[in-house]
Amino acid sequence: MTGARGTAGYIAPEVFFRNLGGVSHKSDVYSYGMMVLEMVGGRKNIDVEVSQTSEIYFPSWIYKHIDQSMNLNLNEEITGEEEEITRKLITVSLWCIQTNSLDRPSMTRVIEILQGSLQSLELPPRP
């Protein structure tokens, strides 16, 4: 294969912009993070039907709303345990989609984080 393959929005930035580093196993971590964000949020990572352009890119929308109530417009009531799991999934996903691949965790680290407590997990910088 001579060209990039995959679904737009899930392909790591370094695949297109070589100045961000080479393609590596961290490129798959990026795709995983985007997929989990879509699953947790119940919407595609790019929503062209929203009224404000700031809401088009789902990770940007998540960053804007993560510090507010955990509701995040998930269209259902959730228990405290479900809220913690959701927050953990979102935080891990945001780490996975960091622009610099060196800032992304390995998949082994992702599993460790998901098995750990939410209290020890800090929100990553905006990619």
Residue 78 banded pLDDT, cuts 50, 70, 90: confident
> pLDDT, tens digit, for every residue of 21-71?
777 788 889 999 999 988 887 655 555 455 555 455 677 777 776 765 555
- Give me the number of domains the chain comprises: 1
Do 106 and 92 contact (CB within 8 A), yes or no? Answer: no
The residue range of the domain holding 105 is: 13-70+96-115
DSSP-assigned letters across all residues of 68-81: S-TTTT-SS---HH
The verdict on residue 31 lying in a domain is yes
The verdict on residue 84 lying in a domain is no
Helix (DSSP H) and strand (DSSP E) numbers for the chain: 5, 0
The verdict on residue 87 lying in a domain is no
Closest listed residue to residue 110, CA positions, set 126, 95, 123:
95
The verdict on residue 51 lying in a domain is yes
* Dihedral sign from CA coordinates of 39, 59, 43, 84: positive
Distance CA 80, CA 37 (A): 19
